[in-house]
């Protein structure tokens, strides 16, 4: 493609006609409007859900155009499986992910493939995801969940419904900040979200809006939004700089993720992360990690409340596996196999990082039909991939954790369940996320019966990630629930050994 060298793939947004020589063979919506494109029926607040609707109508590969930007979308299992081939395709940084680069730069999630800091950071931080390191996170997760249940006990006693997304966000932010960086945001002592959360949501929403606003009009239409985003980014940077400075000037850490960033050299090259890159990595982990895991927990609690039979089965497993042990041990969490299936099924229907982009390493043909030039890319819509009836059956819209029984998993084709992305750039903290979420669900099921609002209908908010909107639940304490606040083994307030805060950033 013009303007690139053979050794470097082109960066940034590239409209599909530059990379797909036979674009006309890919279906698109009818009633395309000159200049504006496929804007009929578009809701700027829910672009992903609009694309899901269009994809159901047009099939496993389709295209949409808006104000000069044309995008190829893929969701069919066969084509998605082909895009997962690491010998032919790689991660593409585009759309909302590229829009986050002003704040996250070349962090693990937003780095271009050719940028050296991605591999350097990955290699330096990878030891933080060993089993030994994972086990060290467990006590802090228990302690933070205890702060959540203290709050929920008070709400339950007062007859108040709980704000599920808000409280899950507090939970996951505190878990990440304390395990990875020895920092306490004090989220559960606040009546309103921490300013870091407000700034984070603002930055994600701004990045989402940039996808759907015409580039020539953005300076006019988004002038005030741009000013707010600049303030949000400045606040995120200041917060992280303060956390890093406190570690440098304060007591020595105990080997957590921030210590690794500050003190560890690459095992082969001896290179170290620069101060600027450390800031970018910390912001990446705080944003990508807690936002996605809080969404996964929120969707899971919604489905458990809507399906009391499934909740009863999951609760019975918790009671059987954990018994009357006040605090489950690390190894007991993995034994909650049905609870894990509930989580997987929630991630199937609403993967909170809902898409990933893949670009061709060389000229190729997708599905034997669609030529792609080197650098051409497609966006994989995970919620539709996870609903492909050829893989998941005619009832793919239904909630059924038994889809993840071992035999059913083995019978499915590879690359059909992708809530954490795919390939070398998939989520580095997947096991952290799954352990944390399974533990939290087990503790909440053990303690409460969940009662939904009968009038509530699931609404999905989009800010690059997905979250149930307006979800509240009423709680009933179980008579056999564990003690109000069992004593958790002491955990350092500064940090804890080898803890990692990445919890599900997607590809």
Residue 103: its pLDDT value, please?
86
- Which pLDDT belongs to residue 147? 97
Active-site hit among 179, 284, 292, 422: 292
Tens of pLDDT, residue by residue over 220-266, are: 888 899 999 999 999 999 999 999 999 988 877 677 888 888 988 88
Q: CA dihedral in degrees (412, 413, 417, 418; nearest 10)?
A: 170
8 catalytic? Reply is no
Q: Which member of 420, 422, 438, 503 is catalytic?
A: 420
Backbone angles phi, psi at 84, to 5 degrees: -80, -5
Q: How far apart are CA 121 and CA 129, in angstroms?
A: 13
- Return the ∠ at Cα 133 (arms to 440 and 131), rounded to 5°: 85
pTM of the model: 0.90
Q: What pLDDT was estimated at residue 50?
A: 94
The pLDDT score that the predictor gives to residue 481 is 57
User: Tell me, what's the pLDDT at 487?
Assistant: 62
pLDDT of the residue at 73 = 97
DSSP per position, 92-110? ---HHHHHTHHHHTTSTTT
Q: What is the pLDDT of residue 80?
A: 98
What pLDDT is stored for residue 34 in this prediction? Answer: 86
| pLDDT of the residue at 13 | 58
- Dihedral angle over CA of 452, 456, 462, 467, nearest 10: 0
Kindly provide the b/e burial profile for residues 331-357, where b requires at least 16 CB atoms within 10 angstroms of the residue's own CB: ebbebbebbbbbbbbbbbbbbbbbbbb
The pLDDT score that the predictor gives to residue 83 is 98
Q: Which entry of 185, 299, 427, 465 is annotated as an active-site residue?
A: 427
pLDDT of residue 496: 37
Residue ranges in the chain whose pLDDT is less than 50? 1-10, 12, 492-507
* 292 in active site: yes
pLDDT score for 482: 58
- In the annotation, is 427 catalytic? yes
Distance (Å, whole) CA 146 – CA 430: 23
């Amino acid at each position: 493609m013009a303007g690139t060298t053979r050794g470097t793939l082109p960066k940034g947004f590239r409209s599909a006609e530059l990379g797909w020589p036979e674009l006309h063979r890919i279906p698109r919506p009818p009633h395309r409007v000159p200049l504006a494109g496929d804007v009929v029926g578009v809701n700027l607040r829910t672009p992903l859900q609009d694309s899901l609707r269009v994809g159901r109508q047009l099939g496993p590969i389709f295209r949409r155009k808006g104000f000069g930007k044309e995008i190829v979308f893929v969701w069919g299992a066969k084509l998605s499986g082909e895009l997962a081939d690491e010998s032919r395709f790689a991660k593409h940084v585009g759309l909302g992910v590229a829009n986050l680069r002003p704040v996250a730069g070349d962090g693990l999630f937003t780095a271009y493939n050719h940028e050296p800091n991605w591999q350097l950071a990955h290699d330096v931080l990878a030891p933080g995801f060993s089993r030994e390191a994972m086990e060290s996170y467990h006590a802090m997760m228990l302690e933070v969940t205890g702060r959540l249940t203290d709050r929920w006990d008070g709400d339950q006693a007062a007859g108040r419904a709980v704000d599920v997304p808000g409280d899950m966000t507090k939970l996951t932010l505190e878990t990440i900040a304390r395990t990875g960086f020895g920092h306490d945001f004090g989220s559960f002592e606040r009546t309103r979200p921490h300013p870091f959360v407000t700034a984070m949501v603002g930055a994600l929403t701004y990045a989402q809006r940039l996808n759907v606003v015409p580039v020539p009009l953005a300076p006019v239409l988004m002038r005030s939004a741009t000013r707010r985003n600049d303030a949000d980014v400045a606040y995120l940077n200041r917060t992280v700089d303060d956390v890093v400075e406190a570690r440098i000037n304060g007591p020595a850490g105990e080997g957590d993720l921030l210590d690794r960033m500050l003190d560890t050299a690459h095992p082969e090259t001896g290179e170290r992360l620069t101060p600027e890159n450390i800031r970018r990595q910390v912001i990446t982990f705080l944003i990508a990690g807690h936002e996605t895991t809080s969404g996964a927990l929120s969707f899971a609690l919604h489905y458990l409340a809507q399906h009391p039979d499934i909740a009863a089965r999951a609760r019975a497993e918790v009671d059987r596996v954990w018994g009357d042990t006040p605090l489950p041990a690390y190894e007991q969490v993995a034994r909650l196999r049905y609870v894990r299936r509930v989580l997987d099924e929630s991630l199937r229907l609403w993967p909170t990082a809902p898409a990933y982009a893949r670009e061709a390493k060389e000229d190729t043909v997708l599905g034997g039909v669609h030529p792609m030039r080197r650098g051409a890319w497609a966006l994989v819509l995970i919620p539709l991939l996870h609903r492909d009836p050829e893989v998941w059956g005619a009832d793919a819209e239904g909630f059924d954790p038994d889809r993840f029984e071992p035999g059913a998993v083995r019978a499915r084709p590879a690359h059909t369940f992708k809530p954490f992305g795919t390939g070398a750039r998939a989520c580095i903290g997947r096991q952290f996320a799954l352990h944390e979420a399974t533990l939290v669900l087990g503790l909440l099921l053990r303690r409460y019966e969940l009662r939904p609002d009968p009038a509530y209908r699931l609404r999905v908010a989009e800010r690059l990630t997905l979250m149930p909107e307006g979800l509240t639940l009423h709680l009933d304490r179980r008579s056999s629930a564990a003690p109000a606040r069992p004593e958790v083994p002491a955990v350092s307030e500064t940090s804890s050994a080898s803890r990692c805060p990445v919890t599900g950033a997607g590809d």
